[in-house]
Chains A and B, each alone.
Chain A
Amino acid sequence: MQKNKNTIFDEDNENKMYILSVIVENKPGVLFRITNLFRSRNFNIESITVGITEKPDLSRMTITTVSDVKTLEQLVKQLQKLIDVIQINVLNKENAVYRELALIKMNAKDPTTRIEIANFATIYRGNIMDISNETITVEIIGTPDKIDAFKNLVSSYGIIQVARTGVSALPRGAVNDDL
């Protein structure tokens, strides 16, 4: 018996994070169709970002999902079936640049706390976006792992609010799209 070769990915049943860079029509209802597909087919979305591309009639959605390859393959095929989806690139940590932005507001009533947090922010190449007598808000840009690490580091001060953008990504190197 021959091994199944009809998958677009290597056989591997481990759950991994994948980044899907999806070019879609820039028109109303498209985001709804995509998120509804994830819901109705029981796929999981870690994060989703949407923004206009270099072409005004196209948007790029960056979707991160944690799944095994079989599920991922089915997800890609189902997405491909959507008429508003023009192109899908499956990216990973190796073949793409990817970044997320997070705003993290923490308790900082004590002036020494504020200094400590500011120092941590500098180490993480973050920016202080807002400071008051009671709080400090830091902007961190990086991979989701880096943001998680910063959050862990400052969690003891008491995190009040977090806003994360979700991952944006582009493949590395030359582009061979024919869009």
Chain B
Amino acid sequence: MSEMSGAAALMAALEKEKVEYIFGLPGGANLPIYDALVDSKIRHILVRHEQSAAHMADGYARIKRKAGVCFATSGPGATNLVTGIATAYADSSPIIAVTGQVALPMIGKDAFQETDIIGVTNPCTKYAFQPRVASEIPEMVKKSFYIAESGRPGPVLLDIPKDVQQQVTKMDFPEYIKVRGYNPIVDADLSEINKACEMILKAEKPMIMAGGGVILSGAFSELQTLAELLSIPVVTTFKGKGAFPENHPLALGPIGMHGHAEANKMVQEADCILAIGARFSDRTVGRFDEFGKDINVIHFDVDPAEIGKNKSVNAAVIGDVKSSLRSLIKLIPKNFRTNEEMSKLWLGRKRELVNYYEDSIKDYSREITAKKALKKLREILPADGIVTTEVGQCQMWASLHFDVISPGTFFSSTGLGTMGFGFPASIGAKAARIDVPVVDIAGDGSFSMTENSLAVSVLEELPVIVFLLNNQMLGMVAQWQRTFYNRRYSGVHQKNCPDYCKLAESYGAQAHRVSSMDELDKALKVAVKSDIATVIDIPIDPDEDVYPFVAPGTGLKDMIIGA
């Protein structure tokens, strides 16, 4: 046991967890931590706003599949993290947020920069710790990582009063910890797997719905094995996009409010749906009562509370979906053959739907459209390139027109829908995978919110590509105002301010404004090889809508495929 300060113990404990990066910003209440950081091997990435620090940690976590760490000071520093923490919570992403807090004797005195951040973040953290003595820090750090990364992952807050950071005491770094009220590892109930297996084997028109849980669990090969073994078409939720290669003959892409038309249609024709690591969100299934009505719905999930929350199901397998899928695959008899005739019909139906909607959904007849631009991005970007998105039309176009080929290379703020998420998150993803190009499919509205992360991307040499579909609008809001409010536009015009190329250049980033598909092709080819952050400003028509569209409160059957 050695004597050290609470701040030094924090850094030592983070090093023991093999933390590579800390995304953060210092202030009065975390000065001792920043002083200890000077002697640490961990690389600090200085952000320009704490929200971005949380998104970077989140982006890092989603690609590394390991908790990302962010630092902020007390009060406003901590509250600036909240949107990022809530984003990670909604998407079950493990981040550790370490905030400074005013000294213990000042807590409750409305001290300068004091906020009850544990209270503020309670509904959007998996757990929160506040050490009262420095010697608690090593164990709390270890527990934070354990809680954040295990079971259904999520954010954990560690709020450390300044005097606790400064207190010098003997430290014990435990190798093993136990959290008595937390038992995330459950062995799936074999009888439920059996039941699920029977339902799938006897189904004539089975369908897999893969959710974010498949990505979190890394169950890509298990999912593919199951689908191929039984020739089951695969749709995903939006969070599950890229859980299954989207160029695979069995892939139908995401379902939901802006899902692929053929996916939305075919999921309604299935006679058995196997939902894997999905939570039946309103954006995915439309109406809970209509989705999967009168058919067998099977639910695999790591979180028992998701079973029956939105949708009552006929079989429920609780546990890590990767091991549950392995058990399921083992149960499929070696000599089992799918009913060739039925399977042929069912897969034929898939091709029929794909062709039908390919013909009936028309793209806009302009030189550059979102669809054409995204197809071009897919053409140029290597299969293992990582793609994230902002929120709004750009995100839904990405869902519709950008095919993820290599599983686990796509993520987005799907649950909370946080504008401004994509750009900082892409920087975090780049930190996790420095060897591949990383692209943020952005809109001008969202990008404006965290554009100051350009400084981080440039100075920290974490180059990413901002693929800016610029319609000078808060486009999704404008689309809803066009559709539901009789084109009465209210508060949606961004009016091409700022000039994104000049903005990027002022940060030392590269910028390209393209006005033709040729120019886009050239700009992308330069950007994927560049070691400097790049903004590609792609002007598109402000009237371009996202279709198909399932209006809120309606079911997938009410899908609108065009204006």
Contact = CB atoms under 8 A, between A and B. Distances in A.
Given A29-B118, A32-B122, A1 B308 contact: no
A163 B434 CA distance: 64
B157 to A, nearest CB: 12
A99 interface: no
A77 B315 contact: no
Interface string A1-20: 11010110000000000000
Interface string B147-180: 1000000000000000000000000000000011
A86 B295 contact: no
A40 interface: yes
Interface in B295-345: 295-296, 303-305, 307-309, 312-316
B1 to A, nearest CB: 24
Contacts of B147: 83
Contacts of A1: 294-296, 314
Contacts of A29: 118, 128
Nearest to B198: A2
B182 interface: yes
A33 interface: yes
A33 B122 contact: yes
Contacts, number: 57
Nearest to B195: A2
B308 A84 contact: no
B119 interface: yes
Contact of B303 (A6, A25, A81): A81
Given A7-B308, A36-B122, A85 B181 contact: yes
- Give the size category of A's interface with B: 20 to 34
Contacts of B295: 1
B119 A6 contact: no
Contact of A6 (B294, B296, B316): B316
Given A25-B181, A74-B305, A83 B315 contact: no
Interface string A69-87: 0100110011011111110
B316 A86 contact: no
Interface in A1-54: 1-2, 4, 6-7, 24-25, 29, 32-33, 36, 40
B305 A77 contact: yes
Q: Which of B119, B303, B304, B307 has the most CB of A within 10 A?
A: B304
A40 B122 CA distance: 10
A6 B297 CA distance: 12
Contact of A86 (B180, B296, B303): B180
Interface in B131-150: 147
B552 interface: no
B226 to A, nearest CB: 21
Q: Which of A2, A6, A36, A74 has the most CB of B within 10 A?
A: A6
Contacts of A74: 305, 308-309
Provide the main secondary structure of the chain A interface.
mixed
A7 B179 CA distance: 27
Given A74-B305, A81-B305, A32 B119 contact: yes
A155 B315 CA distance: 52
Contacts of A78: 305
Interface string B286-298: 0000000011100
A73 B192 CA distance: 19
Nearest to B318: A6
Nearest to A82: B181
A75 to B, nearest CB: 10
B49 interface: no
B126 interface: yes
Contacts of A84: 181
A86 B181 contact: yes
B507 interface: no
B123 interface: yes
Contacts of A80: 304-305
A74 B310 CA distance: 10
Contacts of A2: 195, 296, 314-315
Contacts of B192: 6
Nearest to A79: B305
A77 B316 CA distance: 14
B127 interface: yes
Contacts of B195: 2
B308 A70 contact: yes
B281 to A, nearest CB: 16
Interface in A54-79: 70, 73-74, 77-78
A32 to B, nearest CB: 7
A74 B127 CA distance: 20
A1 B195 CA distance: 12
B117 to A, nearest CB: 12
A83 B126 contact: yes
A83 B127 contact: yes
A36 B119 CA distance: 9
Contacts of B119: 32
B231 to A, nearest CB: 23
B314 A4 contact: yes
8 A-B pairs closest in CB distance: A77-B305, A6-B316, A86-B181, A83-B182, A40-B123, A83-B127, A4-B312, A83-B181
16 contacts: A1-B294, A1-B295, A4-B308, A4-B313, A6-B312, A6-B313, A7-B308, A24-B181, A33-B122, A36-B123, A74-B308, A77-B304, A78-B305, A80-B305, A81-B304, A86-B181
Given A6-B192, A36-B122, 5 more contacts: A2-B195, A4-B308, A29-B118, A77-B307, A77-B309
